[in-house]
Amino acid sequence: MADKTLETLFHETLKDIYYAERQIVKALPKMARGANDPKLKAAFEKHKEETEGQIERLKEVFEIIGKPARGKTCDAIEGILSEGSEILEEFKGTAALDAGLLAAAQAVEHYEISRYGTLKAWAAQLGMKDVAALLEQTLSEESKTDEALTGLAESAVNLAAEKKAA
């Protein structure tokens, strides 16, 4: 059995997030179409564009480490995206739909923040400064998206869901 090193773990986790980002970019248009709130639709559309840039950045990381840009199935993101699809189906036509979609989007963001934070720390530990800098860019974008979603939830979406239910 080959040695399992931090570098091996880094590469396997990189393949995981690459797969995840490619699935997320496919799911975001469905979420945007399903959302009622125009600001939430716009947030999903903006994040789709951002995610496309993050995928390009990941390809750059693969190139730097001399590995092909390949994903491996990420069960965690599959589960999170499946929950988002269930919300789209089960809450379609209800005031709670946007709150559910926003919560699903934040679950995705929190997963990504966790992965990028870990990858950045490992890259730094392994002396890959250029890679760590690229991962920091994405980590920063994901954190800003999460903050924007929280602001949208607190200022409008959750309130709208509550008012219509009352």
- Containing 132, the helix (H) or strand (E) segment is helix 129-152
As a whole-number percent, the residues of the chain with pLDDT over 90 amount to 91
Res 109: pLDDT: 97
Query: For residue 95, what pLDDT band results from cuts at 50, 70 and 90?
Result: confident
Residue 106, pLDDT > 80, answer yes
Residue 78, pLDDT > 90, answer yes
The full DSSP string for 58-109 is HHHHHHHTT--------HHHHHHHHHHHHHHHHTTTSTTHHHHHHHHHHHHH
In Å, the largest CA–CA distance within the chain is 61
Domains of the chain: 6-165 (1.20.1260.10)
The residue written with tokens 């994903």 in the block is 71
The pTM score is 0.93
Amino acid found at 18: Y
pLDDT in tens, 56-73: 999 999 999 999 999 999
Mean pLDDT of 107-112: 97
Mean pLDDT of 117-122: 98
Res 164: pLDDT: 65
Residue 166, pLDDT > 60, answer no
Residue 131, pLDDT > 80, answer yes
Res 163: pLDDT: 77
Query: For residue 1, what pLDDT band results from cuts at 50, 70 and 90?
Result: low
* Contact (CB, 8 A) for 44 and 88: no
pLDDT in tens, 18-44: 999 999 999 999 999 999 999 999 999
- Containing 20, the helix (H) or strand (E) segment is helix 6-34
Res 162: pLDDT: 83
